[in-house]
Structure 1
Amino acid sequence: MGRPPGGGGGQPPGPDLEELLRKGQERFKRFAPGGFGSGKGIALVLAILAGLWLLSGFYRVQPDEQGVVLRFGQYVRTEEPGLRYHIPSPIETVQLPKVTRVNRIEVGYRSGGALRPQEDSQESLMLTGDENIIDIDFTVFWRIKDAGNYLFEIRDPDSTVKMAAESAMREVIGRTDIQPALTEAREEIEQATRTLLQQMLDDYRSGIEVQQVQLLKVDPPAQVVDAFNDVQRARQDRERLRNEAESYRNGIIPAARGEAERLIQEASAYREQVVNLAQGDAQRFQKVLEAYQLAPEVTARRLYLETMQEVLSGTNKLIIDEKQGGQGTVPYLPLNEMLPRAPGQPAAPRQ
């Protein structure tokens, strides 16, 4: 095969393929004068093939992977991310599972991307510690922490995690009464189930780490949900009435205690006052008696004057002095009109 015909002003034709092959054969003949069938030719071909086979042992472990090296199908070692090498196949092979990807297992329901998940009552119905039935749906999130154990210690990881999670949840619910499970004990149930499930998987040497156990639904069975809701409403009413009673008691008892303390203090003060007055009167009488014994006439006159002063101090008085003329008291005298009146007080009627 020669060069293609034609001259003209086109670009010069490229090198001929036959020419390149011929030159390559001449170089190989110079290296191996006997051709491919000679010993040197066979050795060269084998060396090239051996080099290519050895180069095939290089592989790269990505940051989210672990390299699991097998020698004739038996687990040998685990490699971390980076450029690694193993004896080429079929002596050694490598598997690269994703160890940072978070997997999920659904227990009690199947979502399948649907808006309304499909229930699985055989998995979700569980017996509580007080012998009630409860309907629980939950999800387990897990990842690979040891690729070697994950690949070779358990046959079906997803099924193993699911059955272990269901068993752990049933054990935890079996120790919990229904009322706390429906209300305030959800977080405790999640933590206890995660701890128990991780312990079970570690006993299996599964190489799996449980990230989270998440409760999605905790309800009574559908057949009795209406009756259960009535019971819940009754309990809520009971708690509300109890709280109201407690609030009323907390308000009335301190007030009553404060009133009682006030009355006690007033009674104590009155008692002290009466006792002090009685003691003072007794001491005053004793002093008067002593003074009377020393001067009876003076003391008697003084007592008379003090008594009259006390009696007459609150009455209206009109005094007529006979020394000023007249015959003393006249037959009629408007004494009331002569007395001073308070401002705005009407005059007394005449009789």
Structure 2
Amino acid sequence: MPKNLGPKALGLIAVVLLMLWGLTGFYRVQVDEQGVVLRFGQYVYDTGPGLHYHLPYPIETVIKPKVTRENRIVLGFRQVGGTSDARRDVAAESLMLTGDENIIDIDFSVVWVINDAPDFLFNLRDPQLAVQMAAESAMREVIGQTPIQVALTEGRQEIEIRTKDMLQSLLDEYKAGIAVRRVQLLKADPPAEVVDAFNDVQRARADRERLRNNAEAYRNAIIPEARGQGEQLLQEAEAYREEIVNRAEGDASRFDAVYQAYSAAKDVTTQRIYLETMEEVLGNVNKVILGTEGGPGVVPYLPLPEVQRRLTEGSTAGRDGAQGRTSTPGVSTNAQGRASQ
């Protein structure tokens, strides 16, 4: 410094330096950032996007982490070289035990962002490592409660949702200031050493499912038919029951009517029942009718079967006089009457 500078010049220089030092307190926060102000290394407050001011360095400093940028980690493999297809499997991360005690090979990724910059900066020493370890722990717990068949087929989306929720809960307990956007399963396969045996099991399960479906189809075809036949038998039995009941009720009503008639006129009813019974019993029997009227030693006799026989023979032989020569049946001789007696 020149020796000829006076006190006024020195004061001016000091003011300029002080102003320049004061200008170091201005800072700008971008739209994808959050400003975190530290006073002698201790967190004081945070600011949003825009132009702000803090006490000049080294009294206060500002850290501006990217709070809207999505960060992604993968577990189960690592990229090798510059191509995305070159991968190195990390068995310590990817091999997991399922709920039914099978081993499954899983690769997955986690996408996360910062939702609380102070917690993210000061509560975790290595946020990337913390997310990785918490994600692996959450995935192992979810897989340990899931059967392998579900994990390989329809349960992938549920596994992703449950792992995301469990991972977020762990990070919230750590006060990590991290929000998990999504968990994505990249691969869920049986281990390469047993993939052939596993495929055989899968084919056997597919055959079992096919046979089960065929049995279900057969059952669906047989059961309605059997139910229809059963319903038909029930209806026929119901009709038969109605018929028998109605017939029995009719017989009972008829018997009751006969009994009422018998009670009113016992002799007439008895005679009528006797005649009806004889008519029913002797309807198809060859009969000889004996009259009740006649003189001494004479029995009125009407040989109806003989008359019918002769009429039949006369019509068959064509003899016109056969019926004329045959005496008209009427009253027999005394000898015949005695023989009949």
- 1:259 equivalent to 2:229? Answer yes
Q: Distance in 2 between matches of 1:276 and 1:265?
A: 16
- Greater mean deviation of Cα atoms: 60-69 or 70-79: 70-79
- 1:120 equivalent to 2:83? Answer no
The residue that corresponds to 1:71 in the other structure is 39
SS at match of 1:97: coil
Q: Distance in 2 between matches of 1:296 and 1:49?
A: 151
Q: Which runs of 5+ in 1 are unaligned?
A: 1-34, 312-327, 334-351
Deviations 1:280-313 (A, max 9, x none): 356447657848967589969x979x99xxx9xx
Q: Which runs of 5+ in 2 are unaligned?
A: 285-313, 320-341
Q: Distance in 2 between matches of 1:210 and 1:152?
A: 19
Contact 1:36 1:42 in 2 (8 A): no
Q: Distance in 1 between matches of 2:269 and 2:41?
A: 139
Match for residue 107 of structure 1 among 67, 71, 75: 75
Q: Distance in 2 between matches of 1:282 and 1:155?
A: 104
- 1:130 equivalent to 2:112? Answer no
What's the offset of the Cα at 1:91?
2.0
Aligned amino acid, residue 180 of structure 1: V
Aligned amino acid, residue 22 of structure 2: L
Q: Distance in 2 between matches of 1:164 and 1:178?
A: 22
- Greater mean deviation of Cα atoms: 77-86 or 151-160: 151-160
The residue that corresponds to 1:177 in the other structure is 147
Aligned amino acid, residue 234 of structure 2: I
The residue that corresponds to 1:148 in the other structure is 118
Identity %: 59
SS at match of 2:109: strand
Match for residue 244 of structure 1 among 214, 217, 227: 214
Q: CA RMSD in A?
A: 3.3
Q: Distance in 2 between matches of 1:213 and 1:72?
A: 39
- 1:231 equivalent to 2:197? Answer no
Contact 1:133 1:221 in 2 (8 A): yes
> Per the alignment, do residues 97 and 36 of structure 1 end up closer, same or farther by CA in structure 2, a change over 3 Å counting?
farther
Q: Distance in 1 between matches of 2:44 and 2:203?
A: 62
Q: Distance in 2 between matches of 1:139 and 1:64?
A: 23
What's the offset of the Cα at 1:102?
0.8
The residue that corresponds to 1:323 in the other structure is none
SS at match of 2:183: strand
The residue that corresponds to 2:17 in the other structure is 49
SS at match of 2:188: strand
Deviations 1:39-98 (A, max 9, x none): 111111221222222123111212211001122333332212222111122222212111
- Greater mean deviation of Cα atoms: 226-235 or 196-205: 196-205
What's the offset of the Cα at 1:195?
2.4
Aligned amino acid, residue 70 of structure 1: L
Paired residues for 1:285-300 under 5 Å: 290=261
User: TM-score with structure 2 length normalisation?
Assistant: 0.71
Q: Distance in 1 between matches of 2:68 and 2:149?
A: 38
SS at match of 1:209: strand
Q: Distance in 1 between matches of 2:173 and 2:251?
A: 96
The residue that corresponds to 1:192 in the other structure is 162
Q: Distance in 2 between matches of 1:281 and 1:155?
A: 105
The residue that corresponds to 2:329 in the other structure is none
> Per the alignment, do residues 42 and 259 of structure 1 end up closer, same or farther by CA in structure 2, a change over 3 Å counting?
same
Q: Distance in 2 between matches of 1:53 and 1:172?
A: 56
> Per the alignment, do residues 178 and 99 of structure 1 end up closer, same or farther by CA in structure 2, a change over 3 Å counting?
same
> Per the alignment, do residues 295 and 103 of structure 1 end up closer, same or farther by CA in structure 2, a change over 3 Å counting?
same
Match for residue 275 of structure 1 among 238, 245, 254: 245
Deviations 1:9-36 (A, max 9, x none): xxxxxxxxxxxxxxxxxxxxxxxxxx97
The residue that corresponds to 1:21 in the other structure is none
The residue that corresponds to 1:14 in the other structure is none
> Per the alignment, do residues 296 and 98 of structure 1 end up closer, same or farther by CA in structure 2, a change over 3 Å counting?
closer
> Per the alignment, do residues 279 and 68 of structure 1 end up closer, same or farther by CA in structure 2, a change over 3 Å counting?
closer
Q: Distance in 1 between matches of 2:140 and 2:255?
A: 93
SS at match of 1:244: helix
Q: Distance in 2 between matches of 1:193 and 1:287?
A: 89
Contact 1:103 1:141 in 2 (8 A): yes
